[in-house]
Amino acid sequence: MADKDNAVVEIAKRARIASYQLAQLNREVKDKALISMAQALIANSDKITKANQVDVEKAKSTGTDAAIVDRLTLNTERIKEVSQGLLDIAKLPDPIGEVIRGWVQPNGLEIEQKRVPMGVIGMIYEARPNVTVDAAGLCLKSGNAALLRGSSSAKNTNESLVEVMRNSLKESGVDIDAIQLVPSDTHESVKQLMSARGFVDLLIPRGGASLINSIVNDSLVPVIETGVGNCHVYIDKDADIEMAVSILVNSKASRVSVCNAAETFLVHQDIAPNFLPKALAALKDKQVTIHGDEKIKQYCEKAAISFEPVTDEDWAAEYYSLDIAAGIVDSMEEAIQHIRKWSSNHTEAIVSDSMTSIDKFVAQVDSAAVMVNASTRFTDGGEFGFGAEIGISNQKLHARGPMGLVEMTSTKYIVRGKGHIRGKVGERNK
C-alpha cells in the first residue's frame, strides 16, 4: 500500500476508519440508521429539490437531452421513492456475520468462514441522483463505507443528499464518514479513485459502456464490471409459439434502454414458418426494426416490418433501441455457436418444451443468467428478490449476475486452536 497523498486518498482514509466501526454494527443499529436517513430525506425534501433545481436549470441551459434532464430531476414524489428504497433495504437480512462454512480439521483446528464487509467501496456513476441514496444505503447495510463519485451534472443534488444523510448518521451514532461524496468537479478524482489500491477495496462503475470500459481498463483497484448486455432469445423448434412471441416481445420491447433487453433473436428453421409471421406482427406493433439475414428477409417483407440486412456490427450491437438482430438457425447447436461468438454473456433465453433442448442450452450457454421460458428482462436484483441491486455483474470473478447485499461482502477465516503449531511441510501435528 503505497502512500499517495491526494484528495481521494484522504477521503478514503477517513472511510477506512469509519469502516472499522461499520463492520461491528449490529443489524438493529444499521436498520435504525437507514430508517432515520429515509425520514431525513423526506423532511428535507424542500432543501433537496431546491439544490436539484440548480442542477436541472444548468442542464437545461446547456442544452442537455430532455431524457437526461428527466433522469436528473428530483421532486417530492421521487424523493419519497428514493426514501422507500432505504426502508426496503432496512427490511433485508443482514449478510454480515453469516457463517458460510465451518469444519474441524483432523488435528482439532476449528475453521470457520464468516461473511465480513469489503471495507471501502467506491461507486462511480452517471446522472441519476437516486444512485447516491441507493448506493449509500446498500453500503451501510452491508457494513461498507461508501465513496460516492456521481456526475458533475448532479453536483448540487448529490451534495444536498449526502449532507442530509450524513447529518442523519450523526444522530444515529454512526461515523458520518461511512457516506462520503468524492468531488465531481474534474476527472482527476476518478483517476485518484482508480489508483487508490489498498485504500479502496472495490470499485463499482454504473453507467454507459464507455464509462465502464475506461474504469475496467485503468483501475488498479479491483473493479466489478457491470451492465453490458447483448442478450439473445432462442426459439427452439419445440417452443410454444404464443409463449415464444410473448417472451420475445417482452424481452425486446418492454424497455429498450436496459442491459437485460434482448438484442438478437434466433429461431429454429423448423418452427420459423409458423413462428415468424406472428412474431413479426407483434414486433411491428411495437415499431421494432429487424436486422436480419437473407432467410428472414422474405418473412419481414410479407409482414411489412421495417428491415435492414444484418451485419457483424448488428450481431455485436447493444442497440438500446427498438432494433433487433435476427436469424434463422438450422439447429440449436448453431444457435449456441452464435451465442458463444457474439454474446456478452449477460442473459440468454430459450423458449422450448423439450427437456433435452433445455438441458443442453442451459449447460452449454455460459452466461450470468440463462432463462428458460421466461423473458431476458428478469435478470434484475428486484426480480430476483434481492430487494435492491447495486448493479448486474458481467464478469465471472466474485459476483456474476444481479448483485445484492451478499455480493458486497468478503469473507474472513477464523481458526481456533489450543496451542496448535505446524510441523514440517507435509507433516500434520498438533
Name the one residue in this structure whose C-alpha cell is 416490418.
305
Determine, following the binding rule CB under 8 A, whether residue 4 of this chain makes contact with its own copies. no
* Nearest distance from C-beta of residue 107 to its own copies, angstroms: 8
Nearer to its own copies among residue 156 and residue 192 (C-beta): 192
Nearer to its own copies among residue 4 and residue 340 (C-beta): 340
Q: What backbone torsions phi and psi does residue 233 show, to the nearest 5 degrees?
A: -115, 125
- Residues in contact with its own copies, counted by CB under 8 A, come to a total of 74
Enumerate residues 239-258 that contact its own copies by CB under 8 A.
Answer: 240, 242-243, 246-247, 249-250, 254-255
At 321, list the grid cell. Answer: 433501441
Determine, following the binding rule CB under 8 A, whether residue 91 of this chain makes contact with its own copies. no
> Segment near its own copies (CB under 8 A), from 31-39, 184-192, 281-289, 389-397?
389-397
* Nearest distance from C-beta of residue 51 to its own copies, angstroms: 26
Enumerate residues 326-345 that contact its own copies by CB under 8 A.
Answer: 340
At 247, list the grid cell. Answer: 417472451
Determine, following the binding rule CB under 8 A, whether residue 178 of this chain makes contact with its own copies. no
Q: Cα–Cα distance between 183 and 16 in angstroms, integer?
A: 18
Determine, following the binding rule CB under 8 A, whether residue 378 of this chain makes contact with its own copies. yes
The CA-CA-CA angle for residues 242, 247, 253, to 5°, reads: 120
At 39, list the grid cell. Answer: 425520514
> Segment near its own copies (CB under 8 A), from 107-115, 183-191, 283-291, 298-306?
107-115
Tell me how far the alpha carbon of residue 203 is from its chain's centroid.
12
* Nearest distance from C-beta of residue 30 to its own copies, angstroms: 15
At 343, list the grid cell. Answer: 454474446
Q: What backbone torsions phi and psi does residue 116 show, to the nearest 5 degrees?
A: -130, 160
Determine, following the binding rule CB under 8 A, whether residue 14 of this chain makes contact with its own copies. no
Neighbours of 197 (CB within 10 A): 15
**Helix (H) or strand (E) run with residue 101 in it:** strand 99-104
> Segment near its own copies (CB under 8 A), from 53-61, 155-163, 300-308, 375-383?
375-383
Q: Which of 9, 158, 375, 387 binds its own copies (CB under 8 A)?
A: 375
Query: 181-191 burial string, b = 16+ CB within 10 Å, else e?
Result: bbebeeeebbe
> Segment near its own copies (CB under 8 A), from 62-70, 159-167, 220-228, 294-302?
220-228
Q: Cα–Cα distance between 59 and 61 in angstroms, integer?
A: 5
Nearer to its own copies among residue 51 and residue 239 (C-beta): 239
> Segment near its own copies (CB under 8 A), from 38-46, 113-121, 272-280, 294-302?
113-121
* Nearest distance from C-beta of residue 327 to its own copies, angstroms: 20
Enumerate residues 257-286 that contact its own copies by CB under 8 A.
Answer: none
Query: 397-417 burial string, b = 16+ CB within 10 Å, else e?
Result: eebbbbbbbbbbbeeeeeeee
Enumerate residues 395-424 that contact its own copies by CB under 8 A.
Answer: 395-398, 400-402, 410-424
Q: Cα–Cα distance between 397 and 403 in angstroms, integer?
A: 12
**Helix (H) or strand (E) run with residue 153 in it:** none
Q: Which of 10, 20, 50, 330 binds its own copies (CB under 8 A)?
A: 20
At 60, list the grid cell. Answer: 437545461
Neighbours of 167 (CB within 10 A): 15
Q: Which of 18, 118, 146, 267 binds its own copies (CB under 8 A)?
A: 118
Q: Which of 11, 56, 116, 138 binds its own copies (CB under 8 A)?
A: 116
Do the Cβ atoms of 267 and 252 come closer than 8 Å?
Answer: no
x-or-dash pattern for its own copies, window 351-370, by CB under 8 A? -----------xxx-xxxxx
Q: Which of 65, 217, 257, 355 binds its own copies (CB under 8 A)?
A: 217
Nearer to its own copies among residue 43 and residue 67 (C-beta): 67
Q: Cα–Cα distance between 93 and 387 in angstroms, integer?
A: 10
Determine, following the binding rule CB under 8 A, whether residue 44 of this chain makes contact with its own copies. no
R_g of the chain computed on alpha carbons: 25
